[in-house]
């Protein structure tokens, strides 16, 4: 990917404390807000057999006669596949859009000149994104 088609960003003045405050704060409080730094939840306690894997409201075929005629077990299987497909889509977006975008920003491919604090904040966000 080249940066030729990316519009230029506004000038950044690293000596301006107002401009640097947000990024500095993000970098400093990463330990409190990052998913990767939080204790693991008890996944077994979160599992509820009474809940569907995927809501019918989000299925584009939920009102289709063929879906409605299926037995509950078949509908549950389709909901499980819908949940798998949703997660696959999220993983693809992270792998092919989010991570390359982070990489461009982290290596200053957009020529922002935001400096080390910004690079630290971007790398922290990358770690947290990879974790969850």
In our burial notation (b when 16+ CB lie closer than 10 A, e otherwise), range 14-32 reads eeeeeebeebeebbeebee
Reported confidence tier of residue 54, pLDDT bands at 50, 70, 90: very high
DSSP for residue 96: I
Whether this model's pTM surpasses 0.75: no
* pLDDT above 60 (res 70): yes
The CA distance from 124 to 29, in Å, is 10
Contact (CB, 8 A) for 19 and 13: yes
Cα 15 vs. chain centroid, distance in angstroms? 31
How does pLDDT run across 92-132, given as a tens digit for each residue?
Answer: 998 899 888 888 888 777 777 777 777 788 888 887 777 66
The pLDDT assigned to 131 comes to: 67
> Is there a contact between 117 and 23 (Cβ–Cβ < 8 Å)?
yes
């Amino acid at each position: 990917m080249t940066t030729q088609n990316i519009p230029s960003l506004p000038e950044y003045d690293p000596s301006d404390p107002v401009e640097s405050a947000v990024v500095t704060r993000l970098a400093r409080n990463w330990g409190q807000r990052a998913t990767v730094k939080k204790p693991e939840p008890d996944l077994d306690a979160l599992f509820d057999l009474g809940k569907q894997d995927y809501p019918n409201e989000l299925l584009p075929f939920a009102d289709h006669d063929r879906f409605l005629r299926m037995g509950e077990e078949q509908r549950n299987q389709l909901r499980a596949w819908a949940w798998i497909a949703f997660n696959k889509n999220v993983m693809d977006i992270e792998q092919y859009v989010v991570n390359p975008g982070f990489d461009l920003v982290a290596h200053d491919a957009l020529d922002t000149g935001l400096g080390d604090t910004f690079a630290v904040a971007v790398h922290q966000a990358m770690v947290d994104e990879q974790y969850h």
